[in-house]
Structure 1
Amino acid sequence: MGDLLAFDRRDLQLDSGAALLSGFALQFDRALLDAVAAIASAAPFRHLETPGGRRMSVAMTNAGRLGWISDRRGYRYGDTDPLGGVAWPAMPALFRQLASDAAAAVGFDRFEPEACLVNRYEPGAKLSLHQDRDERNLDQPIVSVSLGVDAIFLWGGQMRGDRVRRFTLHHGDVVVWGGPARLTYHGVDTLVRAAHPLTGELRYNLTFRRAA
């Protein structure tokens, strides 16, 4: 892969340890979307159930050694897809390199993700404020890549009741958070109906994590 920093972009510091990298993944958008399609052909998108029995509005699948799972038994990572009982699709090399380079751009060197959660948003889907705390090692950052229609990213604080800021995420944007920001509450507001030339009405989000 070439130098991901070889173009002019606008970075936005969200907090200490957290930044929005504008357009960081843009030059790889078609390859990323092709990889998403290949992953979904092996491990189809599905709407998971929360431990409380609520159907999630965001459809998801996984790639990598581990995949994130939610059902009546709780939130966890597993090395096999519950739908087929086989290993999750391998994480593409492009995914790994993009996540590692984005993390390094925010000061987190040598990030090696084990899991990539692939989320698919349709109009009306949303992701409520939450912390990513199902990982065993919270010293590693989260890297989140946006593809498709714009979304409103909700960025809160370390407590659920802290003030929430709103940022528009465009196609190709990447958000990285770790260190003192690792357990920041965050989410995605209800996706409004819009269109993107590569994804139609859909938004895809790739979330990279070191899970074990």
Structure 2
Amino acid sequence: MGILTLVLCSCSGQTVSLPWARPPASSWEHQGGFVFIHMGSSLYTLPCSPIDMEVADPTYHWRQDRPVPRLLSVTKEGHLLFQHFQAADSGRYSCTISYTKRRIPVSQTFHYSILGYHVPGGLDTVLLFHSKFCGDEWTKRFLHDLQDKLRQLEMEQHCKLQLSVTFCFPLLNSPSDEFIVQVQLEVSLFGPSWDEHCNSQDSELVTGCYRRTVRHNV
């Protein structure tokens, strides 16, 4: 039985690729730039690519450049998810999107520098209440009821209210059984769920919403 030997050659001396040979993979790296996220932001999502990429069956891989990697939350759309963003979440992140284009494996990696920021300052306000009592036990119950009402106000206005100083003293030029309860409050402009209406899959809409909300709260 003879042996059939197939020899492919090129008169130009160049290598001839076999038709069934695996095509070379293509990969690119991009600098996604800086991303600023307000401290305490809830459910902030960052897409893998800054532009919409219409590719078939992509896979996403996020990683953070730090000595001890930690588990990252990624949505099914490949967005990096931050829940209640904290200072420790700042750092350099990279996302690789992999897909196939014309039977060629393709990967693109985007690098981001994510920085947390906080608008300094707040408001100090003083509340004055008229009372017939000024004892310690009564004042304690009054402050407890007041805090319950403030919690409701926090949820409605998406701010943070903190009792700082409380005084109780007699009302001048009035009968001795009338008192003034003075309560000093520290008001933070960014309370629980201050950004709840900014959840969206459109990165431009999310960024614009956060900026408008920060300006509105300030």
TM class by smaller structure: under 0.3
Compute the TM-score of the two structures, normalised by the length of structure 1: 0.25
Compute the TM-score of the two structures, normalised by the length of structure 2: 0.24
Higher helix proportion (structure 1 or 2): 2
Structure showing greater relative contact order (alpha-carbon pairs closer than 8 Å, 6 or more residues apart): 1
